[in-house]
């Protein structure tokens, strides 16, 4: 301790103090902040009554007290726990405003609360249930088949590498980089917003696992050719060719042809007998 005190007037002491304060603040924030999934949440602990009161507090103003729907929001009867878990864990619901679509944002609910609300909605009218961990695990998945299924059913909206894409009227298919395996499964199963439904009859649970494995593998895969430029394809490549390639070379050309500082030695006419 005394050695620290002895160094308190050194120039670096100020930086050290600020850095230390930041570290302490960060650790405290990380430990104390709630929200998002917490380790203790568990589907089997679903408390439907709690879910109902949470629903009434946060969701019923748009979805109605019995989840029957209002002019602002559709009925959730029959939507299923999977739909609720997807919408709430990605933060899309509760929607802050009604617009073309809702984008992913941080959620204010803990995972346990989301399970409770999903359980409540499931109890109202049934619907697709939240997949368990074995259903979304990528162990033993056939990634190659996942590639075939993804490229046929998913890449037209989400892009060949899941970078997202445009839809009509201001909507877009989001990037898949932030989605958890469970969320990917649930999205396929429930078809949120404009996304079509890929139920278990059309895309079996095993096929869903394959697709998830493909998505996870692809987004974790390194880019061996350099920076990926967003994995959007030729648009960014063309921009780099013009701005990076030509831009750099034009600067070099200007350097190469710039006026020299040493004096110019003007030679007399150098032609030897050429026709004038």
Partner 1 sequence: MSETHDPSAGNPLEGLAPHHEAEEPPARRRVIGTPSPTPAAVDNRVAAPEESPDYLPTDPSDIVSAKNAERVAALCFLVAFAAGVCFLIAYIGLEVGPYNSGNSVIAALRSNYALGSSLGLALLALGTGSMIWVRHLTPNIEIEEHRHVLKSEPEDRAAFKKDFSTGAAITGITKRPLLRRTMLLATAPLALAPLWLLRDLGPLPGTSLRHTVWKAGTRAVTLGGLRPLTPADMGTAGSMITVIPEGYQDDDDALAKAGVIIIKFAPGELHVPTIFDGKTQLYGMNWTVDSTIVAYSKICTHVGCPVALYEQTTHHILCPCHQSTFDASNGANVVFGPAARALPQLPLGTNAEGYLVALSDFTQPVGPSFWERG
Partner 2 sequence: MSDEPVKIPPALDGVGGWIDDRFHLAGGARVLMKKVFPDHWSFMLGEIALWSFVILLLTGTYLAMFFVPSAAPVVYHGSYSKLDGITMSQAYQSTLNISFDIRGGLLVRQIHHWAADLFMVAIMAHMLRVFFTGAYRKPREINWLIGIVLFTLGMLEGLFGYSLPDDQLSGAGLRIFEGVLQGIPIVGTYLAFFLFGGAFPGTSIIPRMYIIHVLLIPGLILGLITAHLFIMFHQKHTQMPMKGNTEKNVVGQPFWPYFMLKGQAWFFFIFGALVVLATFAQINPVWLYGPYTPLAISSASQPDWYMGLLEGALRIMPSWEINFLGHTLTLSVLIPFAVPLGLIFTGAALWPFFEQWATGDRSEHHINDRPRNAPVRTGVGVAAMSFYGILWAEGANDVFADKLSIPLYTITWIARVAVFVIPIGAYFVTKRVCLGLQRKDAELLSHGVEIGIIHQLPNGEFIEESRPLTEEERAVVASKVVPNALPQPATLDANGIPAPASKGLMGRARVIANRAFIETVEEAPGHGNGHHDGHAVGEAEHAAVTTGDTEEH
Enumerate binding residues for partner 1 (CB under 8 A).
Answer: 145, 148-149, 152-153, 156-157, 165, 167-169, 171, 191, 193-204, 207, 221-226, 252, 255-256, 259-260, 262-272, 274-276
203 binds, among partner 1, partner 2, none (CB under 5 to 8 A by kind): partner 1
As a whole number of angstroms, the distance between CA 189 and CA 121 comes to 16
Q: CB-based contacts of 64: which residues, under 8 Å, 6+ apart?
A: 70, 73, 75
263 binds, among partner 2, partner 1, none (CB under 5 to 8 A by kind): partner 1
As a whole number of angstroms, the distance between CA 114 and CA 81 comes to 9
CB of 9 to partner 2, least distance (A): 45
195 binds, among partner 1, partner 2, none (CB under 5 to 8 A by kind): partner 1
Residue with tokens 């958890």: 180
Q: Which is closer to partner 2, CB of 4 or CB of 265?
A: 265
CB of 192 to partner 1, least distance (A): 10
Distance from the first to the final alpha carbon of the chain: 92
| Token pair in block for residue 228 | 């990926």
* 154-189 residues labelled b (16+ CB within 10 A) or e (exposed): bbebbbbbbbbbeeeeeebbbbbeebebbbbbbbbb
Residue with tokens 């500082």: 261
198 binds, among partner 1, partner 2, none (CB under 5 to 8 A by kind): partner 1
163 binds, among partner 1, partner 2, none (CB under 5 to 8 A by kind): partner 2
Q: Which is closer to partner 1, CB of 14 or CB of 199?
A: 199
How far from 240 is each of 144, 164, 227, 235, 245, CA to CA, in Å?
32, 21, 11, 9, 6
Q: Which is closer to partner 1, CB of 54 or CB of 81?
A: 81
233 binds, among partner 2, partner 1, none (CB under 5 to 8 A by kind): partner 2
CB of 242 to partner 2, least distance (A): 6
Task: Please report, as ranges, the residues that interact with partner 2 according to CB under 8 A.
Answer: 100, 142-145, 147-148, 151-152, 155-161, 163-170, 172-173, 214, 217-218, 221, 223-229, 231-235, 237-238, 240-242, 244-246, 248-250, 252-254, 256-257, 270-272, 274
Closest to 63 in 3D by CA, of 88, 90, 31, 29: 88
Closest to 43 in 3D by CA, of 51, 35, 32: 51
Q: Which is closer to partner 2, CB of 151 or CB of 202?
A: 151
Q: Which residue pairs, CB below 8 angstroms and at least 24 apart, start in 154-161?
A: 154/211, 157/195, 159/231, 159/232, 160/231, 160/233, 161/218, 161/219, 161/231
Q: Which is closer to partner 1, CB of 11 or CB of 225?
A: 225
204 binds, among partner 2, partner 1, none (CB under 5 to 8 A by kind): partner 1
Q: Which is closer to partner 1, CB of 106 or CB of 224?
A: 224
């Amino acid at each position: 301790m005394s050695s620290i005190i002895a160094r308190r007037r050194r120039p670096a002491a100020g930086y050290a103090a600020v850095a230390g304060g930041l570290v302490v603040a960060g650790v405290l924030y990380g430990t104390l902040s709630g929200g998002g999934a917490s380790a203790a949440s568990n589907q089997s602990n679903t408390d439907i009554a709690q879910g109902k009161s949470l629903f009434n507090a946060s969701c019923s103003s748009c979805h109605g007290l019995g989840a029957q729907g209002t002019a602002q929001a559709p009925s959730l009867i029959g939507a299923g726990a999977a739909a609720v878990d997807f919408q709430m864990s990605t933060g899309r619901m509760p929607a802050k405003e009604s617009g073309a679509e809702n984008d992913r944002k941080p959620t204010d609910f803990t995972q346990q609360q989301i399970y409770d609300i999903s359980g409540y909605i499931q109890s109202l009218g049934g619907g697709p249930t939240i997949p368990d961990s074995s259903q979304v695990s990528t162990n033993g998945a056939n990634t190659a088949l996942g590639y075939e299924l993804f490229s046929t059913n998913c890449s037209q909206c989400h892009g060949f590498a899941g970078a997202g894409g445009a839809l009509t009227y201001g909507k877009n298919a989001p990037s898949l980089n932030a989605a958890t395996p469970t969320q990917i499964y649930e999205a396929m199963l429930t078809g949120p917003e404009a996304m079509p439904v890929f139920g278990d009859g059309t895309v079996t649970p095993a096929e869903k696992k394959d697709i998830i494995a493909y998505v996870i593998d692809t987004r974790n895969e390194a880019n061996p050719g350099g920076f990926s430029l967003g994995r959007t394809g030729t648009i960014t490549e063309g921009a780099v060719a013009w701005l990076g390639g030509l831009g750099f070379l034009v600067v070099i050309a200007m350097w190469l042809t710039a006026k020299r500082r040493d004096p110019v030695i003007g030679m007399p006419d150098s032609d030897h007998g050429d026709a004038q």
